[in-house]
Structure 1
Amino acid sequence: MNLDLAVLDAFRGLTGGDPEGIWRAPGRINLIGEHTDYNDGFVLPFALPQAAYLAASRRDDNRIRIVSVDLGERFETDLADLAPNHDGWHAYLAGVFWALREAGHDVGGADLALASDVPIGAGLSSSAAIECVLVEALNDLYDLGIDPMARAVLARRTENGYVGAPTGLMDQAASMLCTAGHALFLDCRSLSVDQVPLDPGAHGRAILVVDTGTRHSHAGGEYATRRADCEQAARELGVPALRDVAADGLDERLAGLSDERLVRRARHVITENDRVLQACAALRRDDFAALGELMTASHASMRGDYEITEESVDLTVQTALDAGATGARMTGGGFGGCVLVLAPVESLGAITAAVTTAFVDSGRSAPATFVARPSAGAGRLN
């Protein structure tokens, strides 16, 4: 399905006319740097071809009308009635209006038609794509003049303050700021970014995404619990955030924490920040072997120290490595979702077959797979 045409048709069905424009904002894959963003740390995501598409026009009143192509549902409300909640798919859109108005931006009503091919709950930031595509559209429609990073911050404000999911900034920043053929190095404290070349195909490699089909939700309690653990560990260590603890001499520093659980949580975040920096250096020297080792070490840390993996992602990682992958890790918030597999191009078929067989043998449905290609961030199509 051509989603730009799908939202155009849906918009015409909603309004009887054409939209003022159509916008696109991608989902993202996090190459490495998991659960570091809300600890003021470093992340290295890249944007996917899969994206949310939005046809939109301004209204001359305060009504918001939304049609979802994917769900075949409509939602309508008034700007005056917006209040934080996480009840339904439309909260990710209604919340954008709320976040913009809370920040003092003069935004009125709008008619919207939405479609997305970013898998929901797979750790590919389907919600951030929806938030970002609307922020992008409203910034253009109402001539708000908000710079891209500030747009990402407003999209995150939607998820934190309106939907109630305590996520960091990485997802929205990636959707807004990524460029084709690059990963986005983001310092989540300073909000400085750097485009790091990422072209595995030029070096005979590919990044395979395996969607395990196990779904997660950022609004769930486990994510919030991990964040609280990190904040407690930082307080006990006497630092503003875990980002401020060096990886050198780590065991001695963490020995003073009050609980072994806090030791494990802090160790993951601190070592993961170091792995992001090493991954950037590896990419700049085209060292995909080193990148693969860092990815696999990241997964081991998420499994043992952060305890956010589960059986299907662990099975995928181990099976892929046994079948010839040079690196593999879960990506996203955890408790399911997708696995990234770095492998020689000629090994993709064998890896895919091995993972499929492992899933079927364990009583699971065969996983969906696709090769990820670093793509462009949010923008207007017409």
Structure 2
Amino acid sequence: MSAQLVQLSLTDASFPPLVADAYRSLLRDAHQALDEAEVPTSDRRAWIVPGRIEVLGKHVDYAGGRSLLCTVERAIVIVARVRNDPNVVLRDARRREAISLSLDSPTRGAVPWAIYPRTVVNRLVRNFGNAVGGADFALASNLPAAAGVSSSSALTVGLTLAFTALFNLSAHPLFQQALFDRPALAGYVGAIENGLDYGVLGGEKGVGTMGGAQDQTAILCSERGRLEVFSWAPVTFERSVAWPESHTFVVGVSGVVAAKTGAAKERYNRAARTAHRLVDAWNATGVPRVQMLRDAFLAAGDMRVPGEIPPALVAAAEAAADHEFSAAHLIGRLEQFYDEAFVIVPQATDALARNDLAEFGRLVDKSQAGAERALENQIAETVHLHRYARELGATAASAFGAGFGGAVWAMVPTADAERFASRWRDRYLRVHHSASHRSLFFTTSPSPPAFEVLDG
């Protein structure tokens, strides 16, 4: 995946007609928002930045595991133009909200989502200085917010792409040194969100979550009609597998907000802190010291052949137990990470490659069970959505994203997708009536990565 940023026309992107029409509508809305603000029409540029499905790879990216990913046919559309002053003005065309940030001293915005553009602006200014200038942005989205499909990371990716293009940041020596291809750029945008250094590009306060770069990588590096396997820390492409043309994703958004800000942030970060505690536990045993949970597994035993968790790692976990992290919780997290990263993702990808969909479904069920048992991030709504999907005949189904709400994907034959979605929704809402005003069920196939729209 080269350093060149993706540029496509809507025609060349080969979206289904209804998807292309939806994106044209979003583009019109974003342009209209700039028109109403009397932003000149000349030199505007536009991007389509999709959400993603974490097919497999639950809470493994910040711990160095591996994931199976794709994007969805829903997105944030961004239209932008350079300003002649050091201000960044963002307008949400559909919410009719706006924020303004100064490059000299970005301040707290009045709307909840202001933390994401403020974080991007702060980090880009720190890393690239006065190469970054002011700009007008208009956003329009058909991605459900706080629903597990990574709308927040789509925003940070989109803004980073837009600033990069508007101010030719890719020609900056530090950019060329550190961000030499799309996976590296994805790792950097992940570091923008979590606030960590990225090579020579120093860190800046992030959004407060301890995530990795999974979402950003899916958004930047996916390919139409395929699922991608990446491993983490650093972002590393491993393999790609075709999505069966006979099947479609149906996504069921639970209606329970899966935010990663405010009080929800601590629950999200607990899963990451558990992984960090396990690394500390291993390092307390002596040498070799490691930085990632993946490396603790590799240091503690031979992982080339799937088998039991190395006993030395289990013993280290037991020794590190305290009132916050019990031994059972720590060992459960070891088991979940081991299964997800070393067993489920590789074997499920192999199953798809040989079109063994029954085996694929069995492995996905194992992943879901691990999340329910060990991650402690599943709620009744997502557990039920998974169960109902399988009972209604889905080939495979799983919750995805940070958890504590969000969405579940189901793999179903394309010919039955709309009927399945209706039945799935009806069954879910019979039990979870209060979710009716926020739940959403939609079909999608693996989509292209984020790209600049040449005819936008």
| TM-score range relative to shorter protein | over 0.9
- Opposite residue 374 of structure 1, the aligned amino acid is P
Pairwise CA distance, 1:289: 1.9
List aligned pairs for 1:43-58, cutoff 5 A: 43-58=67-82
SS in 1 for 2:101: strand
Q: 1:75 matched to which residue of 2?
A: 99
- Opposite residue 125 of structure 1, the aligned amino acid is S
Is the CA contact (8 Å cut-off) linking 1:325 and 1:343 kept in structure 2?
A: yes
CA distance in 2, matches of 1:35, 1:87: 28
List aligned pairs for 1:1-382, cutoff 5 A: 2-18=25-41, 19-82=43-106, 88-104=112-128, 106-145=131-170, 146=175, 147-161=181-195, 162-194=206-238, 196-200=240-244, 202=245, 204-219=246-261, 220-238=265-283, 239-244=290-295, 245=297, 246=303, 248-250=307-309, 252-256=311-315, 257-258=317-318, 259-273=327-341, 274-345=343-414, 348=417, 349-350=419-420, 352-366=422-436, 367-382=439-454
CA distance in 2, matches of 1:360, 1:183: 33
Is the CA contact (8 Å cut-off) linking 1:85 and 1:163 kept in structure 2?
A: no
CA distance in 2, matches of 1:41, 1:60: 44
Pairwise CA distance, 1:149: 2.8
Pairwise CA distance, 1:216: 1.5
User: Which shows bigger deviation, 312-321 or 248-257?
Assistant: 248-257
Structure 1 unaligned blocks of 5 or more: none
Q: Compute the TM-score of the two structures, normalised by the length of structure 1.
A: 0.93
Pairwise CA distance, 1:330: 0.4
CA distance in 2, matches of 1:136, 1:286: 36
- Opposite residue 360 of structure 1, the aligned amino acid is R
Aligned length: 380
SS in 2 for 1:50: strand
CA distance in 2, matches of 1:64, 1:355: 41
SS in 2 for 1:301: helix
- Opposite residue 49 of structure 1, the aligned amino acid is E
User: Which shows bigger deviation, 40-49 or 217-226?
Assistant: 217-226
CA RMSD of aligned residues (A): 2.2
Identity, % of aligned pairs? 26
CA distance in 2, matches of 1:323, 1:29: 21
After superposing on structure 2, the runs of 4+ consecutive aligned residues of structure 1 that deviate more than 3 Å are 83-87, 251-255, 344-348, 361-367
Structure 2 unaligned blocks of 5 or more: 1-21, 176-180, 196-205, 284-289, 298-302, 319-326
**Residues 133-173 of structure 1: CA deviation (Å, up to 9, x unaligned):** 11111111111215423332332233223322222101111
- Opposite residue 197 of structure 1, the aligned amino acid is V
SS in 2 for 1:104: helix
